[in-house]
Amino acid sequence: MEKGRIVLASASPRRLELLASAGVEFDVFASDIPEEPFPCEAPADFAVRLARDKAVATAARTEGRWFVGADTIVVCAGEIMGKPVDEADAFRMLRKLSGVTHEVITGYAIYDRERDGLLCKPVVTKVVFKPLRDEEISAYVATGCPMDKAGAYAIQGGAAYMVERIDGSYTNVVGLPLCEVVEDLRRIGAL
């Protein structure tokens, strides 16, 4: 790995695909940090903290210059929804999202090892789900798709038909606000 390279601190196939689709050359080195909110931590602060921790922890473990960390959460009626713990949790999350507007927040961080600089931002997209029938939710949960997704759904996959509309970045809902990340990488000289 070259010293001046960009390193994506994530094993998410969706983030990998998004960053690659923008023509960015990067290496991957996944971080493994605890993903629990602090008491009274605001959702956007939580997402940004996790992104920062992922970028910095990865920089401590591998070569590279710029380290990109990201974390996506879903927030509905004040509840931070990460990945479901089981199928019942996935069903519960999707039922709660049914027919309402919620927020998808991705915090991202870019750590520049050479300058010891850190750029961190949250990106928020509002998503409106159509009202879902219990049998629709059960069928989607049975596919297994919700199990590794924040809020138990993937807008780019089987849950696309559940989304009535979005207000904000589509790629943010997928897992990486691509426009913002690429522009910041360009602005700090990584691209």
Would you name the residues annotated as active-site residues? 71
C-alpha pair distances (Å), 3 with each of 65, 87, 118, 126, 149: 6, 43, 18, 38, 32
Residue type at 39? P
**Max Cα separation, the chain?**
53
Give the closest residue to 67 by CA, choosing from 27, 35, 105, 33.
27
Task: Report the distance separating Cα 26 and Cα 134, nearest Å.
Answer: 42
Residue type at 6? I
Query: Which residues have a Cβ under 8 Å from the Cβ of 183 and sit 6 or more positions away?
Result: none
Look at residue 68 and give its three-state secondary structure: strand
Task: Report the distance separating Cα 104 and Cα 125, nearest Å.
Answer: 5
Counting Cβ atoms within 10 Å, is residue 28 exposed (0-12), middle (13-18) or buried (19+)? Answer: middle
